[in-house]
Structure 1
């Protein structure tokens, strides 16, 4: 059980490290959102210095140094107009997540469910109806080497101690009493007021 807990902790730490790495390395958005008609107006005015065209967006820099971003509408003559204004054009494929992020989000839930299933199957195979018992047993193993308590350690009425001593002797060696005709008792009933050490 402890081995599985360690594996789970390590997997959780790896996933958290990957997510933190992605958050820290995420590109910071410094571009100003611009509507497409404003972008065309700036292009016609010659204010656009360079652009990067992706699948759905145009990002770039104006001549005054400001960065912008606009959604790419259907405009067949865009590249021709950009060339006519002397704008530096770069085309890029759409941003893609690293392979491990895609792997984590596509296969992560399936792997997690398989691990849970394996965990439950192993718990059921160990026996003792442990499939749903996640805690440890509170039972303690008592050995013969534990502290021994004798009748000398017990206070009380001497006659009662002697009678209990006889019962213990009978339980330890019943053959001795059986030879004399004694019958093995089914149990022992101790009578007395509460708190008297029965």
Structure 2
């Protein structure tokens, strides 16, 4: 672990103990996950046991009335609202102000799906760009959403980085994307630390 205020690096405490969680409701791999504050961790889409993309979602949450230790028996899986459509395996998802935004990796789209957790868990398709983009990754830093798009040039490894400021009303402002730069293939990763 790294303390960002001091730059000091330390290892996890030896008292940390891993425990086995109960089985998921549906077998899945290559899914997206987001932490929904005061609810749990939402597992989104991915590839099912039959090797087909999934629309389903499920929430890993603390059993109500349970407190204390962290054993797997304290956790439960709950079905959650399925997405409107399947996305390719390895979807991207971010959480911001009660909303979850989802793309499929490598999908050539001008829409994303948004789950409004605060409004009863309804999924909505949002047009976010005037042209179709080949999305290679998505992340959120603070209130800014970043996407990396692979340009559609013959034998191209040029990527465009775009960002937009989120304010909780995605329908109003999804047209205000800023192009950051074009660059050779690059990777973008964020880690959220407290």
Structures share fold, TM-score greater than 0.5:
no
TM-score range, shorter chain: under 0.3
Higher normalized strand content (fraction of residues):
2
TM-score, normalising length from structure 2?
0.19
Higher normalized helix content (fraction of residues):
1
